[in-house]
Amino acid sequence: MPQDETMAVQSSSTQSSDRVLLEVRGLKMWFPITQGLILQRRVGDIRAVDGLDFFIRRGETLGLVGESGCGKSTTGRAILQLYRPTAGQVLFEGTDLTRLRGEALRRMRRRMQMIFQDPYASLNPRMTVGNIVGEPLEVHNIGKPEERRQRVQELLEVVGLNPYFVNRYPHEFSGGQRQRIGVARALAVNPDFIVCDEPISALDVSIQAQIINLLEELQDKFGLTYLFIAHDLSVVRHISDRVAVMYLGKIVELTTRDELYSNPLHPYTKALLSAVPIPDPVVEEKRQRIILEGDVPSPANPPSGCRFRTRCGLRMDICAEVEPEWRETAADHWVACHRV
């Protein structure tokens, strides 16, 4: 059964009793490769995201993990239509965002926001904190000037900053404080869904826990839904309800957090988990580390069949010929591997 048909079965059986906020069907994001300075011609594509199917229930956190360059951040941006997808659907409460343009898309963007990875690059150094946090309110024409100023002060207080910092500039804050400003900006228009694009990877370890705790508190307080993108599996285990593992533009395994860490099925997932340190010297000594062979293939020329086969120690002949079926091996545990 093709992957999109399989996912349709998953959607109908799994989502019927759950409130699904966001559903992604066959999402692709290809970037063209061109040659020539004047008469440019297309000679290929970078297949950053190549056919994703998943959904996110209202109020939950879906963790999206994988090594650098696998397409995690591109997925988040394509969902929010910051990149217009090459193919596929992004259904937000049943509305296909890929078909929206202009004012209709702008209205939907009030309900979707993003927290960016680098708090040093995502804040305009020429704008005060008050202007940065209040800009979404102006863009969407929410409230009068005095109401906006009051709203900005409330938001700064919510994220743990002094509300009287509104006239300061980003360079006057530490990295953790800047990320709190980014969180306040994302909350300004009362969104339902937030893409957290590695929001702690640029911060000190001592600050990371503070930001994670803040995100969890805000989720409980405002009923937020998160797509949490990260490469740190220990952080994902702490904050996520379900976890999707991504490799070279494809999701290879998706299940609940506890199931993934206790019973990983895909060889790539097992390799990732084997690299996570365990604070128990007895367990750590007995555990076998899985070392992957070779380098990640180019997304411009991905391997045939299973994309992980070039680095997999369990590969078979069929892995080079047939793309593995995306199927449910247990309740809410999906995997794409011939060995499973």
Taking the C-alpha atoms of residue 261 and residue 151, their distance in angstroms, rounded to an integer, is: 41
> pLDDT tens digits for 163-179?
999 999 999 999 899 99
Tokens 């910051």, located at residue:
82
- Predicted confidence at residue 116, as pLDDT, reads 92
How high does pLDDT run on average in the chain?
A: 89
Q: How many CB atoms lie within 10 A of CB 267?
A: 23
CB 295 within 8 A of CB 275: no
For residue 266, is pLDDT > 90?
Answer: yes
Reported confidence tier of residue 11, pLDDT bands at 50, 70, 90: very low
Taking the C-alpha atoms of residue 197 and residue 300, their distance in angstroms, rounded to an integer, is: 23
Domains and CATH numbers, the chain: 3-111+191-336 (3.40.50.300)
Q: How many residues in total does the chain contain?
A: 340
- Quickly list H helices, 188-315: 205-222, 233-239, 257-262, 267-274, 281-286
> pLDDT tens digits for 134-156?
999 999 989 899 999 999 999 99
Q: 3-class DSSP state for residue 154? A: helix
CB 185 within 8 A of CB 122: no
Angle between helices 175-187 and 129-139 in degrees, nearest 10: 20
Segment 81-93 mean pLDDT: 95
Q: Are strands 242-247 and 61-65 parallel, antiparallel or unpaired?
A: parallel
Taking the C-alpha atoms of residue 232 and residue 123, their distance in angstroms, rounded to an integer, is: 24
> pLDDT tens digits for 211-223?
999 999 999 999 9
Closest CA to 232 of 63, 78, 70: 63
